[in-house]
């Protein structure tokens, strides 16, 4: 009995010894495999951190906040809904926000290649406005171009995060090779008083793109977005007119943003007109290829994005991409782009149109371009 107990104890001890030897052996195999991979340079192909954890959390919080209740601080991060079986072209979830923030393409075979080559540069071209003008559509259309690399989410550097410094801003940019253009879009730059001076101090050569849209429809679009986030919002007319009077309330941002001439004046104090391209938001919908031709010329790019990239989606009521960046499937923008607008009384729209007319004319004169809103 005692002997068999001892033998059992011995077997158990022996078993343990064999097990621990086996685990040491396996650990060694793992270690040497890893060492072998690193020596062959494979470790470098892991995506490098684009920004530190603190920054990433900050941005993530900001983005989630943007996507949340505060419609004034909205972003392009929206819950997605596709038209038919198509994937929306937006930053739909946290993962894709982080991925897009890094500016790297979706996890496909070439990800490590895209991460390892080129360098992060300050953007040579920025879509600075205007909110609800069609800025997301323009950026996504541009991203099909092989010589354009852009940050997906809005960095908001020249308005909200300027304190973080230029190096922080540059770290958000995707890597580019010689001849490729780095881009970003943040529509609130156009109405930010300090933005022109700040951008000028980064580089006076940055090309500036402004997507403009009839300020009346732009205001309604802006209001629609706020209404989606806050369903209890007062009516459009009660916000557009000051204290129930017939005076337009220019303190309301949905109205103020549309006074394009005023905002442009601020930019022209720093940048010459030749540095700007004004894209018609209406034409971007009616003739995306035509408008994209102008944009590519302005950026000094070969006209790669042409009518063969677009088709008109009847369900969505907007042009969509046949093959967007990193995908072989057709895609439309998400449900927050191309939303139906609430009905606004005709006399309210007329009053607003009258209000904008002189500013529009001034804007046409300043830009040398009649956008045909009147």
280 touches ligand PPS (CB under 6 A): no
Taking CB under 6 A as the rule, does residue 88 contact ligand PPS?
Answer: no
Residue ranges in 291-350 that form contacts with ligand PPS under rule CB under 6 A: 318-319, 333, 337-339
DSSP H or E segment with residue 39: helix 2-39
Choice among 74, 100, 131, 132 that is catalytic: 132
Torsional sign, CA 295, 299, 305, 307: positive
Neighbours of 118 (CB within 10 A): 15
Q: Output Rg (C-alpha) for the chain, integer angstroms.
A: 27
Q: Of 172 and 210, which CB lies nearer to ligand PPS in the complex structure?
A: 210
Q: Is 132 in the site for ligand PPS (CB under 6 A)?
A: yes
Q: Check residue 144 for interaction with ligand PPS (CB under 6 A).
A: no
Stretch that binds ligand PPS, among 23-31, 130-138, 143-151, 366-374 (CB under 6 A): 130-138
The residue to which tokens 């204290």 are assigned: 243
β 207-212/310-313 pair status:
unpaired
Near ligand PPS by CB under 6 A: residue from 105, 134, 215, 258:
134
Sheet (strand 276-280) strand order = 148-150, 181-185, 125-129, 207-212, 276-280
Is there a binding annotation on residue 275?
no
DSSP assignment of 338-370: SPPPPP--HHHHHHHHHHHHHHHHHHHHHHT--
DSSP one-letter string for 137-156:
HHHHHHTTSTTEEE-SS---
Assess 187 for contact with ligand PPS (CB under 6 A).
yes
User: Number of residues in contact with ligand PPS, rule: CB under 6 A?
Assistant: 20
Q: Binding residue per annotation — 134? A: yes
State yes or no: residue 366 binds ligand PPS (CB under 6 A).
Answer: no
Check residue 221 for interaction with ligand PPS (CB under 6 A). yes
The question of whether 132 is a catalytic residue gets the answer yes
Active site residue ranges: 132
Residues lying near ligand PPS in the complex (CB under 6 A) are found at 74, 76, 131-137, 187, 221, 224, 284-285, 318-319, 333, 337-339
Annotated binding site for 3'-phosphoadenylyl sulfate: 132-136, 213, 221, 337-341
């Amino acid at each position: 009995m005692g002997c068999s107990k001892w033998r059992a104890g011995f077997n158990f001890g022996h078993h343990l010894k064999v097990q621990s030897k086996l685990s040491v052996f396996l650990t060694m195999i793992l270690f040497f495999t890893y060492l072998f991979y690193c020596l062959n340079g494979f470790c470098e192909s892991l995506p490098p951190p684009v920004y530190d954890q603190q920054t990433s959390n900050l941005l993530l919080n900001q983005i989630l906040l943007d996507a949340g209740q505060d419609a004034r601080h909205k972003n392009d991060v929206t819950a997605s809904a596709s038209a038919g079986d198509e994937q929306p072209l937006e930053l739909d979830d946290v993962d894709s926000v982080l991925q897009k923030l890094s500016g790297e393409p979706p996890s496909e075979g070439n990800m490590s290649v895209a991460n390892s080559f080129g360098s992060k540069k300050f953007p040579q071209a920025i879509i600075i406005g205007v909110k609800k003008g069609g800025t997301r559509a323009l950026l996504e259309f541009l991203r099909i171009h092989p010589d354009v690399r852009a940050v997906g989410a809005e960095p908001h550097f020249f308005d909200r995060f300027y304190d973080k410094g230029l190096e922080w801003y540059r770290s958000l940019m995707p890597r580019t090779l010689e001849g490729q253009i780095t881009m970003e879009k943040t529509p609130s730059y156009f109405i930010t008083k300090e933005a022109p001076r700040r951008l000028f101090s980064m580089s006076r050569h940055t090309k500036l793109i402004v997507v403009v849209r009839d300020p009346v429809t732009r205001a309604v679009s802006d209001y629609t977005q706020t209404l989606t986030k806050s369903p209890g919002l007062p009516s459009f007319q009660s916000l557009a007119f000051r204290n129930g009077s017939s005076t337009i309330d220019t303190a309301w941002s949905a109205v103020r943003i549309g006074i394009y001439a005023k905002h442009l004046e601020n930019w022209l104090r720093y940048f010459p007109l030749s540095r700007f391209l004004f894209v018609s938001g209406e034409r971007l919908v009616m003739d995306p290829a035509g408008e994209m031709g102008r944009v590519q010329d302005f950026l000094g790019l070969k006209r790669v994005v042409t009518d063969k990239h677009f088709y008109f989606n009847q369900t969505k009521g907007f042009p969509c991409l046949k093959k967007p960046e990193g995908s072989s499937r057709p895609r439309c923008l998400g449900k927050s782009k191309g939303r139906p607008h609430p009905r606004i009384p005709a006399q309210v729209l007329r009053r607003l149109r009258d209000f904008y007319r002189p500013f529009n004319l001034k804007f046409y004169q300043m830009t040398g371009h009649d956008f045909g809103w009147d």
